[in-house]
Amino acid sequence: MAACSPALPQNTLAPAGEVARDILGLFQVIFWMAAVVFVVVQGLLIYAIFRFRRKPGDTAIPAQVHGNTPLEVAWTIAPAVILAVIAVPTIGTIGKLAEPPDGKPVAQVSVTGHQWWWEFQYPELGVLTANELHIPVGSRVNATLKSADIIHSFWVPRLSGKSDLFPGSRTTSRWFDADQPGEYQGQCAEFCGASHAHMKFRVIAQTQADFDAWVRAQKAPAAATTGAGATLFTNKGCGACHTIEGLAQGKVGPNLTHFASRGTLAAGEFVRNDENIATWLRNPLAVKPGSQMPNLGLSDSDIQTLVTYLQALK
């Protein structure tokens, strides 16, 4: 119940898009039918407990009854009817969520899950980013999902239901949308190792104009590929895992070309500011156990140089 508090950002009962509303509508139908079943079954149970309990003076064993054909037929048919009724909106909603929407424009995004971060690629726009998924309000997003390592699950409680991401050639996909500009929290929803709980992301819904401006900024060249920070980045081997266009082409960790355009770092773990970047660089494994980001043993001055450099990658 605490998890459903309206004050919390991952409240699936506060949908902010058509897809999330459809899912909530289905949930409510099933919830209230289940509630009626619960009350009836528990009511009968409590009635039986009190009505047939042993009373003072009862010495004989009660009549021993085996089998009651009308009752057994009834409690076979009743659940079958309930399930058949539930199947109608369930199948309808599944079908609706699986189909491309009528009329609305489509924004295509490829999502790749990694231990423990999210890669977002816009194949039609030539944009590659991490941990912050920008979407235009008024479009339906078609997310195709896959994993680079093990099974993860994509979940944005206020916008989208859960879909697993599988390694190998199998891709899954789902549609979702947002009504209003805003930020929505996402979270990996499939246990995927020591830092599963640290595999967060944000969906940033924007007006089409703001989204277009963001795309232009993401496609711009990297802010700096030379200077003390870029040299240190190269010398410490950061480029083996991270891409900065024009400087390094690592594919293990998030693309950092426009790192400072994001509000968070370490897969939503921290707000991006100097202090938090330094904390992360000083000992990534203390923040995210099992992370492939090693502890590089950086000196304080190296950390300061890298913080300054990363913060300039607008």
Select 149 or 245, whichever has its Cβ closest to ligand CUA: 149
Please give the Cα distance from 131 to 119 (Å, whole number): 6
Q: Give me the least distance between CB of 192 and ligand CUA, in Å please.
A: 3
Q: Which helix (H) or strand (E) holds 114?
A: strand 106-114
Select 173 or 206, whichever has its Cβ closest to ligand CUA: 173
Q: Give me the least distance between CB of 281 and ligand CUA, in Å please.
A: 23
Select 199 or 203, whichever has its Cβ closest to ligand CUA: 199
Q: Enumerate binding residues for ligand CUA (CB under 6 A).
A: 113, 116, 152, 188, 190-192, 196, 199
* Tokens of residue 135, six digits: 């979407």
Q: What is the DSSP string of 213-236?
A: HHHHHHHSPPS-SSSHHHHHHHHT
Q: Give me the least distance between CB of 115 and ligand CUA, in Å please.
A: 7
Q: Which helix (H) or strand (E) holds 134?
A: strand 132-136
Select 111 or 310, whichever has its Cβ closest to ligand CUA: 111
Q: Give me the least distance between CB of 166 and ligand CUA, in Å please.
A: 12
Q: Directed axis angle between helix 69-98 and helix 18-51, to 10°?
A: 170
The owner of tokens 């410490």 is 236
Please give the Cα distance from 14 to 144 (Å, whole number): 25
Task: Read off φ and ψ for residue 174, nearest 5 degrees.
Answer: -155, 155
Q: Give me the least distance between CB of 117 and ligand CUA, in Å please.
A: 9
What is the dihedral sign for C-alpha 139, 182, 185, 128? positive
Q: Give me the least distance between CB of 195 and ligand CUA, in Å please.
A: 8
Strand segments (E) across 171-297: 172-176, 182-187, 200-206, 243-244, 248-249, 264-265, 270-271
Q: Give me the least distance between CB of 150 and ligand CUA, in Å please.
A: 8
Instruction: Give the 3-state secondary structure of residue 293.
Output: coil
Select 137 or 148, whichever has its Cβ closest to ligand CUA: 148
Q: Pick from 111, 186, 191: which is nearest to 151 by CA? A: 191
- Strand pairing report for 140-147 and 106-114: parallel
Q: Directed axis angle between helix 274-282 and helix 300-311, to 10°?
A: 130
Q: Which helix (H) or strand (E) holds 140?
A: strand 140-147
Please give the Cα distance from 69 to 291 (Å, whole number): 61
Select 188 or 313, whichever has its Cβ closest to ligand CUA: 188
Select 197 or 296, whichever has its Cβ closest to ligand CUA: 197
Q: Give me the least distance between CB of 260 and ligand CUA, in Å please.
A: 25
